[in-house]
């Protein structure tokens, strides 16, 4: 009942429905393209390294451009930057479609297209995060974030399913659907009003580099924040199996492109179900221990997936991994928000996004390289076991984080927070 009431209140805000439509169109396009490019590259090469290169092609430009992108977003119209970014993403999809239609087997042009696409992601991620506070009034912002996140899971679940089905039916022509999705996002942006100023305006006279270094200093001086960010970073970097799904779908589980879509969606389904539960029964007790337990369950579920040769066992293992990951993300996000003073929130968020946001692509590269050198099964097992080792090690290195009871216990004293700002 609370969730339904919140949703009605938020959707009554002018422009929020258009914002959701914009995001759904673009996220569907990104999710479909992610599943299609992974399957397509492995179909062309049958080499796990090709999956590693897909992740790295997107990771490198994000790493280089994320910081300057944040400065541009503070100075210019965020809607216009999104329109430019998604227009460029549509051109990338068009290039992939052209390569497919012309039966190009050389993988280099595909990687170049994904390199440009990675550039667009450096702008679209922070732009979408910073645009919503300009669409919805501050008193409704928390509800808007929760509602928007829940709805986006529809695209995260449905995108891989649709991408797998379409690729199985029409192959690389599916890139045309991605092109349409990005184009729709660009067109719908003109109906998204920006009526409010940014929640946290940039500090006068500061530069992107100074804000970045201040965020780094603050994070490294706070064991709770540093431990939470680094735990998630290394768990995803070492334990993620998403990059290996095309290999499992084709060579181990023998379920084809539609089965690959189901496997990709299983993670999002677990996240959605757990996210819905947490929206009704939020956690605020034994937060530190529950976060470490959730990451451990994530590692065990990935280990079960790595060893399974039965499709539905693999599916439910990924579903549990997604649910555990959602608990970890929920607790980590809450602790970071409560442990960070308002004057540092923007800088900490930028650093958090730089490391956590790029860990998926770097993790895909790690998984692909490991599968190439060790074999698919040893690489997946190694990643899952590494996650469990990280949990054990971090629980000893960051005892303060492990022993956190609730969100309120990590709120910094005003005097200490101001000194660091």
In the chain, what are the domains?
A: 1-198 (1.20.1250.20), 207-421 (1.20.1250.20)
pLDDT at residue 58 is higher than 80 = yes
pLDDT at residue 4 is higher than 70 = no
pLDDT at residue 155 is higher than 50 = yes
CA distance 417 to 415: 5
State which of 49-58, 134-143, 213-222, 375-384 shows the largest mean pLDDT. 375-384
Per-residue pLDDT tens for 6-31? Answer: 555 656 666 778 888 888 899 899 98
pLDDT at residue 418 is higher than 50 = no
Q: What is the pLDDT of residue 10?
A: 58
Of 249-258, 366-375, 387-396, the one with minimum mean pLDDT is 366-375
Q: What is the pLDDT of residue 199?
A: 41
Report the pLDDT averaged over residues 34-54: 85
Answer yes or no: are the C-beta atoms of 302 and 380 closer than 8 Å. yes
Report the pLDDT averaged over residues 29-34: 91
Residue 105 CA to its chain's centroid (Å):
30
Report the pLDDT averaged over residues 249-260: 86
In which band, very low, low, confident or very high, does the pLDDT at 59 lie, cut at 50, 70 and 90? confident
Q: What is the pLDDT of residue 71?
A: 67
- How many Cβ atoms are within 10 Å of 280's Cβ, its own excluded? 9
Of 3-12, 263-272, 378-387, the one with minimum mean pLDDT is 3-12
Tell me the chain's radius of gyration from C-alpha atoms. 21
Q: What is the pLDDT of residue 63?
A: 78
Q: What is the pLDDT of residue 140?
A: 63
pLDDT at residue 402 is higher than 70 = yes
In which band, very low, low, confident or very high, does the pLDDT at 195 lie, cut at 50, 70 and 90? low
Q: What is the pLDDT of residue 385?
A: 93
Of 143-152, 168-177, 304-313, 325-334, the one with minimum mean pLDDT is 143-152
In which band, very low, low, confident or very high, does the pLDDT at 420 lie, cut at 50, 70 and 90? very low
Report the pLDDT averaged over residues 282-300: 89
pLDDT at residue 381 is higher than 50 = yes
Report the pLDDT averaged over residues 390-397: 92
Query: Which is more confidently placed, 376 or 280?
Result: 376
State which of 185-189, 249-253, 311-315, 414-418 shows the largest mean pLDDT. 311-315
In which band, very low, low, confident or very high, does the pLDDT at 230 lie, cut at 50, 70 and 90? confident
Per-residue pLDDT tens for 157-175? Answer: 788 888 888 888 888 899 9
With a CB cutoff of 8 Å and minimum separation 6, the contacts of 161 are 261, 262, 264, 265
Residue 22 CA to its chain's centroid (Å):
17
CA distance 154 to 24: 8
DSSP string, 269-296: HHHHHHHHHHHHS---SSHHHHHHHHHH
Q: What is the pLDDT of residue 342?
A: 56
CA distance 183 to 93: 10
Say what the pTM is: 0.68
Q: Please state, for a pLDDT cut of 90, what percent of the chain lies above it.
A: 26
Per-residue pLDDT tens for 98-139? Answer: 999 999 999 999 999 999 998 998 888 777 766 776 777 666
Report the pLDDT averaged over residues 379-406: 89
Query: Which is more confidently placed, 346 or 369?
Result: 369
CA distance 327 to 274: 7
């Amino acid at each position: 009942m609370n969730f339904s009431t919140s949703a009605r209140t938020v959707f009554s805000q002018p422009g929020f429905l258009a914002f959701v439509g914009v995001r759904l169109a673009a996220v569907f396009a990104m999710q479909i393209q992610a599943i299609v490019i992974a399957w397509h590259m492995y179909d062309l090469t049958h080499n796990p390294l090709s999956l590693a290169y897909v992740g790295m092609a997107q990771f490198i430009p994000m790493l280089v451009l994320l910081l300057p992108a944040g400065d541009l977003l503070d100075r210019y119209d965020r809607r216009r930057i999104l329109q430019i970014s998604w227009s460029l993403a549509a051109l990338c999809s068009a290039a992939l479609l052209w390569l497919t239609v012309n039966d190009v087997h050389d993988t280099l042009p595909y990687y170049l297209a994904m390199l440009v696409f990675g550039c667009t992601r450096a702008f679209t991620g922070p732009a979408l995060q910073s645009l919503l506070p300009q669409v919805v009034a501050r008193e409704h912002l928390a509800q808007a974030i929760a509602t928007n996140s829940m709805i986006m899971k529809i695209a995260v679940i449905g995108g891989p399913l649709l991408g797998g089905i379409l690729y199985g039916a029409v192959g690389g022509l599916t890139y045309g659907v991605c092109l349409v999705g990005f184009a729709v996002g660009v067109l719908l942006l003109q109906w998204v009003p920006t009526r409010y100023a940014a929640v946290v305006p940039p500090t006068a006279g500061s530069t992107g580099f100074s804000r970045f270094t201040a965020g780094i200093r603050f994070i490294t001086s706070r064991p709770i924040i540093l431990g939470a960010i680094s735990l998630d970073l290394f768990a995803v970097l070492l334990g993620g199996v998403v990059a290996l799904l095309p290999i499992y779908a084709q060579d181990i589980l023998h379920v084809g492109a539609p089965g690959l879509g189901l496997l990709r969606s299983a993670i999002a389904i677990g996240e959605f179900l757990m996210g819905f539960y947490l929206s009704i029964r939020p956690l605020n007790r034994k937060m530190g221990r529950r976060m470490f337990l959730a990451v451990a369950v994530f590692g065990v579920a990935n280990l079960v997936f790595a060893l399974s040769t039965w499709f539905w066992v693999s599916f439910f293992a990924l579903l549990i991994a997604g649910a555990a990951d959602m608990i970890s993300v929920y607790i980590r996000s809450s602790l970071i928000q409560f442990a960070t003073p308002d004057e540092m929130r923007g800088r900490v968020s930028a650093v958090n996004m730089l490391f956590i946001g790029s860990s998926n692509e770097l993790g895909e590269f790690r998984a692909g390289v490991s599968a190439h050198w060790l074999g698919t099964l040893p690489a997946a097992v190694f990643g899952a076991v590494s996650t469990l080792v990280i949990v054990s090690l971090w629980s000893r290195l960051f005892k303060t984080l492990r022993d956190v009871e609730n969100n309120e216990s990590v709120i910094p004293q005003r005097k200490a927070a101001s000194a660091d700002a």
